[in-house]
Amino acid sequence: MATMNFPDRLIQSRLNIMMGKPVVAGTRITVELILEKLAAGETIEQILEAHPRLTRPAIFAVLEFAAQALRADVVYSK
């Protein structure tokens, strides 16, 4: 079983969990879901209320993960 732990250990990726998508450690809550909820206008408090296993540091880890992913040497075109 391949596992990838990111530096803060709050975000993990395992092939047997959510098809390898990055998730908050110990949950099946994907980074993608949290980003979509924030983009849709949900507040951190609303997300925490809807997902009691999440923590505020986990949500900030999701944001940091997304920022690091976008720092990769990728050229985005229209």
Burial 1-21 (b: 16+ CB within 10 A, else e): eeeeebeeebbbbbeebbeee
The model's pLDDT over 28-55, given as tens digits with 9 standing for 90+, comes to 999 999 999 999 999 999 999 999 999 9
Domains of the chain: 3-70 (1.10.10.10)
Task: Please check the confidence at residue 1 and state whether its pLDDT lies above 80.
Answer: no
- For residue range 11-20, list pLDDT tens digits in order: 999 999 999 9
- Cβ neighbors of 54 (< 8 A, separation 6 or more) are 24, 27, 29, 34, 47, 48
Q: How far apart are CA 14 and CA 24, in angstroms?
A: 11
Triad 32, 38, 39: Cα angle to 5° = 85
Residues 56, 48: contact at Cβ < 8 Å? yes
Q: What is the pLDDT of residue 70?
A: 85
What is this structure's pTM? 0.82
